[in-house]
Chain A
Amino acid sequence: MSEGASRSPGAPPVQAEALASLLEQSAGAVWRVGLQGGVSAFAAGAYLPTGFPRLSAVLPGGGWPVGTLVEVLSAGSGVGEVSLWLPALQRWAAGGPVRACDDGARVPAKPRWLAWVRPPYVPYGPALVQAGVQPEQVLWVAPDSPAEALWAMEQALRSGACAAVFGWAHPADDHALRRLKLAAAQGGALGVLFRPLAQVALASPASLRLVLHPRPAGGLDIEVLKCQGGRPGWVRDALRHS
């Protein structure tokens, strides 16, 4: 019994390491949830802690998936759709540490931009600073049309110069979303596309789809519509810190 107790803390990591190296050797032969179709971006498999315990508990890997596309559906702006991301991103964009998953993939600690593509209003500097994001991390792109916005998002995601890209582009078809997802995997960036609630019924290639339901008394319920590697579900009052 004592022998078992002494071995148990050491054994699982060794096994995990062996498993990881085995999976690495058979890259392509084994499909792994969370890896982007074998593209194996350097950031694939890494997760950003969301900063909201209730939300982290539901997401696979315990945080936002990096190197992929996330879709956020809400009835309009003003429900906290952006502040949802800021706790996780302020540390990452500044070059802070990111929790890596077991297969050893790591996110480089390197300051990068937070790109805002075609935001509905002016991203307000003082508010960003209050949330811990430095104004010089902001790259604000204001294209004329949704099509240009999709193009700009794709370039920003693929470049490797952005930690995260927030985009407001509607309409966007399935093909465009696929391109964004691939670009995010290539650039190791987090892509977040904000879309109107009407898109709920349509299928989407995004790895994670969230629907935001503001609570009348304040706070936010989050419906996880689709979650690669996890399960759909509801998170009640997701932003509460208890």
Chain B
Amino acid sequence: MRSGTARRGARARLLVQEGLALQGARASPLPQEELAGDSRQPAASHQGGRPALPPAPANRAVARHLWLAVHLPALAIECLKLENLLLNTSQDVELPKVIVSGEGAQCEVVAADATALALGIRPGHGLNAAYALAPQLGVLPRQPQREQLALERLARLATQYTPWVSLEAPDALLLEVRGSLRLLGGTRALLARWRRDLAREGFSASLALTPTPLSALWSARAGTPGAAVRVVSGWGPLAAALAPLPLTATRWPGAVLDRLAEAGARQVGEVLRLPREGLARRYGPVVAEQLEQALGHRPTPRARTTLPERFLEALELEAEATTVPALLPAVDHLLAALEAFLRGRNAGVHGVVLQLRHRPSRLAKDAGSVPRLTTVSLGLAAPGAAAQRLGALLRERLDRLELLSPVCALRLRSGVVVPLPPDTRALLGTEDAVEAGAAEVLLDLLRARLGEAAVHGLSLVPEHRPEAAWRRAPPKVVRGKTSPAAGKGPGQGPGQGPSKGPSQGSSQGPSQGPDKGRAVAEPVVPPPAMQRPLWLLPAPQRLRVREGLPWHDGPLVSEQGPERIESGWWDGAEVQRDYYTVRRTDGVRLWVYRERGAVEPGSWWLHGVFG
């Protein structure tokens, strides 16, 4: 019976594998169609020539990995554009802009914006050539650090789709997606989602999907952003798909490329046709090795990028924001990045800190008075990841913020990243699941708007002194049933009566009272006979005395008392009082005491109100 189920299980697994294989096979027609245009002709010539490399083994008809290469040809300029998220469309947007690298005569254009491209400026042009085409050219230096940051940001986004993301500096990413294709609904759905993400982030990329990292990279580099994605999902068509790629896509050293060009090879296919034995000897080991890697004959190890465990991202605003609403798009953008970061690791944060950097004041006399940095920190009652929820809470904070001077940059920092517990739902009905988070959401909302200090709970302290018997505590999110009322607490209340009061307070208090009370969880609750008022005054209020009796907007009539409380000689806040419950003529009941201590003996004080 047991082996029978085991066999069934194995069979079921086999079927699933077949299903995967079938899906892979089904996915392949799409690429071949797309590739038909450029691959057919070289494939024919390939058959005519003598194959330099043996075809991939037949038993690996379906590749184990599928690599999605993301090549960002305009990263150098797009990473700067991203920082200017709130760029006003003012006159200087009309100016063509280019990013350059190198110095003097070697200075060449690395990337150009749309205006510059329209004027005919291309990456690779010398700076002088660019000036000739557009005299009013905005020239910016390349910022490798920002490029790296932008690449990391994209890698973070990519961790939503696969845990295996490799950073291919300076301008590409590799994602292994075979494992998550089924989850994401196939190649088409994955590519569509990833393209949407890229567009939202403001990057133009050319994509390629092939079974090896190098082939994917080369294909992506050869493509142009916006063109059809090159997809090769099996080993069979891989060599044919690589053949038409220009050799520049391999980024081999210039000298090697020159020598290959002398031999008449300008495309990958032409190198593949060269005799294999001579490749390494004539053109260096890199060429032979990388060709084998591209075709999958040799492994290409790719490191998995591990991203920092804390989220920190900054955004510079080119147009300074003078009002809070002008900041909100930028905040939303940062929060969206945070959410992607957290999704990638199925984690949440307990809070975030948003820093607004202000423009330094132009007036010297204001320099000291205007702060350079405004910090808004937000704590959550339960770890959260949703940008929408965090955004709503931050907005509550920001709405109440007054910007003393214009903001020129934002920085969002996460608190400690903690794993999110899986979402548990009831099988029948979802009401409980919805309500479970209600308390946390309410707490966050109240704290965000009113401040941490304005929201608290209560806890009892085992103390006889009324003002010390309670304490503010963080609100407790109640789950499950609480124990029934403990109103009938132990009878060790403050002063069992005036007769026993003094001896109990002074002798028993220090040795046993507080220490024992702290050890046991049950707090000291006065017996029902010793009624306590629902309202306690923050500090006792001195009462006037008329004809020897206390007076508070009228004469006071004693209802209960005295209850003697003597305690606390050991910590300098000694209390020696006789408490009375009194009623005013208009029916208001008050809790008053008569001082018995050394300071102002016999004076009357109001300490509570029976609300």
Contact = CB atoms under 8 A, between A and B. Distances in A.
Interface of A: 75-83, 90, 94-95, 108, 110-113, 119-144, 148, 151-152, 155-156, 159-162, 213-216, 218, 220
Contacts of B472: 140
B449 to A, nearest CB: 7
Q: Is the interface of B mostly helix, strand, loop or mixed?
A: mixed
B569 interface: no
A238 to B, nearest CB: 13
14 contacts: A78-B588, A113-B478, A123-B536, A126-B525, A127-B534, A129-B489, A130-B525, A133-B485, A141-B446, A142-B450, A142-B454, A143-B454, A161-B441, A161-B442
A156 B453 CA distance: 17
Contacts of B460: 125-126, 129, 135
B492 to A, nearest CB: 13
B537 interface: yes
A136 B482 CA distance: 9
Given A122-B535, A124-B470, A143-B454, A137 B478 contact: yes
Contacts of B221: none
Contacts of B534: 82-83, 123-124, 127-128, 131
A108 B429 CA distance: 13
The interface centre, meaning the residue of B460, B478, B609 with most chain A CB atoms within 10 A of its CB, is B478
Contact of B535 (A75, A78, A155): A78
A196 to B, nearest CB: 14
A176 B586 CA distance: 31
Interface string B296-322: 000000000000000000000000000
A119 B587 CA distance: 20
Nearest to B530: A130
A160 B485 CA distance: 22
A37 B585 CA distance: 43
Given A119-B535, A120-B535, A138-B458, A155 B442 contact: yes
A3 B481 CA distance: 46
A132 B473 CA distance: 19
A162 B459 contact: no
Contacts of A83: 534, 610-611
Given A121-B609, A125-B470, A134-B482, 7 more contacts: A77-B609, A79-B587, A111-B479, A120-B611, A127-B531, A132-B487, A143-B450
Interface of B: 431, 435, 438-439, 441-442, 445-446, 449-450, 453-460, 466, 469-470, 472-473, 475-476, 478-487, 489, 523, 525-526, 528, 531-538, 559, 583-590, 608-611
A223 to B, nearest CB: 14
Given A122-B537, A161-B438, A162-B442, A129 B486 contact: yes
Contacts of B446: 141, 152, 155-156
Given A129-B460, A129-B487, A151-B449, A111 B535 contact: no
A129 to B, nearest CB: 5
Contacts of B523: 129
B482 A111 contact: yes
